[in-house]
Structure 1
Amino acid sequence: MRYTGDIGLLPSDITPESAWRSRRRFIQGVALAPLALGVSGFAQGASGGSPAGPVLPAERNAEWPVIDAANSWQDITTYNNFYEFGSGKGDPADHAGHMRLDPWAVRIDGAVRHPMTLDIDALRQLAPLEERVYRLRCVEAWSMVVPWTGYALSHLLERVEPTEEARYVVFTTAVQEDVMPGVKRRILDWPYVEGLRIDEAMHPLTLLTFGVYGRELPAQNGAPVRIVVPWKYGFKSGKSLVRIHLQAARPVTSWMRAAPTEYGFFANVNPDVPHPRWSQATERRIGSGLFAPRVRTQKFNGYEKYVADLYQGMDLHRQF
């Protein structure tokens, strides 16, 4: 890619407190016990060959089908970009297990009529969860197919009621410097910040994501909540969110700040727009083997018919 007045919604507002507290105790007691957590209150880095962690039931949504079979749990949980834990693909699985995930809250504020701070249970219960199989394409020219669990971000944004000034949605991720080696090394300016135009954020493909392979997100995949924007390069899908802020001005995101000639705001998957140091015309499917033939990258990562109208009239070579 050639990048040339608070209304707080508590768990008890949705489900009786006794019910959601019992549910959390049950899930943690039954599902997490076999994982042998080393330190109470810390995440478990799931990197084995079989899905692990608390089950997150959801109905399959087949509205946007993907022909390719999903990658394995091993692929998905051991080959990651999560620079807070290091720049190596195996660093997140090695280090993210020490991330503290409980308690967790996400602030939704800015140009909204009803700002909220929600804990993770309340956030999960805002809309029915569904499983969606999405392609994930990263700027390093590799791809995966991942069965995510979540709901359209629009459900949350509609609840807070964006004002007329809300043109962009900004996502801020967690910083836990004592357990995040990449934060100590200052690979980027922290916290990690990403953003979408409001119409991109409201698109039904944009997923507020809580799970993968029917289980709660492992820490290295962005636990406990992340964004997945499947027609964009993977760095647009912020992990481990702590704030969602709506505003009038386009934000300067983390990679734009770090390398403005390489990373643009839109970051739509586009085989015709190369990165300054490599081509994006083809990709390698993770799990296919080092000697498997590369395949042609699909514009908008295969979702062109669903999202191309968002960019009518734009020069996607210049507005990358």
Structure 2
Amino acid sequence: MANIIQKKPWEQAGIKPIDEAIYYNRRQIIKQLGLTTIGMMAAPFVLGACQNPAQQNATGDSAPQEKSNTFDFEGMSDLYPATRNEKYTLDRPLTKEYDATHYNNFYEFINPRDVSIYNVYKYVEPFTTSDWSFEVSGLVKNKGKFDLEDIIKKIGLEERTYRFRCVERWAMAVPWTGFPLAKLIKLFEPKNEATHIRMVTYSNTEEMIGVRTQHWYPWPYYEGLRMDEAMNELAFIATGIFGKPLPKQNGAPMRLVVPWKYGYKNIKSIVKFEFINKEPETFWHKIAPNEYPFISNVNPEVPHPRWSQAMEYLIPDGEKRPTLKYNGYGEFVAGLYEK
């Protein structure tokens, strides 16, 4: 059998060289924890994921062709695009739609034999997002299951443009459609003793190749916020992107967007909100507590244990920019952390 020769990412046309440190990402954590096997090399290199998304899968694995991977409510397509809220402006151009919807660090859909982030969209087709509901529990008056469609009809939708920053130093500028998390929380009427909110991602071995094959991760994915963070005006539940319903690879049908925090705090495909009176454990903190603290605000002055956070690299060409404290949202959130 002939050898398959595949160019390195930095040899691809249109890709600019980036500092060596940007290659590091969370798959090194697994190695450091002593859990590595050949099959455990699941998470993609940051720059390595910038290869041409149309490039043939060199592993020989079959993957579905791209289909309609967006979530849509029957009879509600006229809600998109929503009116843009001009209060939230950007200091940079929007990332191109193709790059923002095809560069996805969604571990539930990463095939260990095809680790490019740019290939996540190939594996989302089995994911069923119709008739989405989520559970609310804990220290709230209104518990139970809620239909997302009903919530959208009650609250409405708006568009906001936000900067997005990954702990691995890549960055985007994205127009999200959705509603403030605070409006959702108010519907549940949390009790005064609720200090934190814990959120959980959908997890299904039949529909998610990463959950089925990467069994060393503590699935399902789970994250959390302090209640004052969750009630901040920036905290947003996104149901759409670029004026359309969310593609599955972007966290359909509902995901969290907290733009002053690193990307892993922005939990996708949410199925549970739990109101509690203590700081919850989170997915990446459980795996590597010295690297992924609960707060995880973007801060150029606080390096990751294995790389500096002073600079960021814009997707897709790697343009280098200084990292902004709180990702540039200090006027909205600095008061939360200066007590």
TM-score normalised by length of structure 2: 0.74
Q: 1:187 to 1:303 in 2, by over 3 A?
A: farther
- Asked if 1:198 corresponds to 2:227, the answer is yes
State whether structure 2 residue 171 is matched by structure 1 residue 143: yes
Query: Structure 2: which amino acid aligns with 1:220?
Result: Q
- Secondary structure in 2 matching 1:182: helix
Deviations along 1:169-227, one digit per CA (max 9) or x if unpaired, are 11100012112121121252111000000000001100011000110000000000011
Other-structure match for 1:237: 266
- Separation of aligned partners in 2, 1:158 and 1:208: 14
Give aligned pairs, total: 263
**How much does 1:127 deviate?**
1.0
8 A contact 1:44–1:98 mirrored in 2:
no
Which amino acid is 1:309 matched to? Answer: G
Note the C-alpha offset of 1:54: 4.9
2:315 is the counterpart of 1:286: yes
Mapping of 1:1-320 within 5 angstroms? 44-45=68-69, 54=77, 56-86=80-110, 88-184=116-212, 185-287=214-316, 289-290=317-318, 292=319, 294-313=320-339
Q: Per-residue displacement from partner, 1:264-303 (whole Å, max 9, x unpaired)?
A: 000100011111111111000002x24x4x1100000010
Q: How far is the alpha carbon of 1:73 from its aligned partner?
A: 1.1
Cα distance, 1:124 vs structure 2: 1.5
Give 3-state SS (helix, strand or coil) of 1:308's partner: helix
CA distance in 2, matches of 1:152, 1:179: 29
* Separation of aligned partners in 1, 2:211 and 2:77: 28
Give the letter for the 1:193 counterpart.
Answer: Y
1:186 and 1:299 map into 2 onto residues whose CA distance is: 35
Structure 1 residue 120, shift from structure 2 partner = 2.1
Separation in 2 of the partners of 1:226 and 1:126? Answer: 18
User: Which structure's relative contact order is higher, taking Cα pairs within 8 Å and 6+ residues apart?
Assistant: 1
1:222-252 deviation digits (Å, cap 9, x = unpaired): 0000110000001001100001111001100
Residues 45, 95 of structure 1: 8 Å contact kept: no
Compute the RMSD of aligned alpha carbons. 1.7
Work out the percentage of aligned pairs sharing the same amino acid: 41
What is the deviation of 1:123? 2.1
Instruction: Read off the aligned partner of 1:97 and give its amino acid letter.
Output: E
Residues in 2 aligned to 1:219 and 1:162: alpha-carbon distance in whole angstroms:
30
Q: Distance in 2 between matches of 1:154 and 1:108?
A: 14
Residue number in structure 2 paired with 1:6: none
- Give the Cα separation in 1 of the matches to 2:218 and 2:251: 18
Instruction: Kindly state the Cα deviation for residue 126 of structure 1 after the two structures are TM-superposed.
Output: 2.5
> In the TM superposition, what is the alpha-carbon distance from 1:62 to its structure 2 partner?
1.2
Which residue of 2 is the match for residue 34 of structure 1?
A: none
Whether the aligned pair in 2 keeps the contact of 1:71 and 1:144 (CA below 8 Å) is: yes
Structure 1 residues 119-128 or 172-181, which shifts more?
Answer: 119-128
For each residue in 1:137-166, what CA deviation from the matched residue of structure 2 results, as whole angstroms up to 9, or x when unmatched?
A: 000001000000011111111111110121
Long gaps (5+) in structure 1: 1-37, 47-52, 314-320
C-alpha contact (below 8 Å) 1:44/1:219 kept by paired residues:
no
Q: Give the whole-Å Cα distance in 1 for the aligned partners of 2:173 and 2:160.
A: 10
TM-score (ref. length: structure 1): 0.79
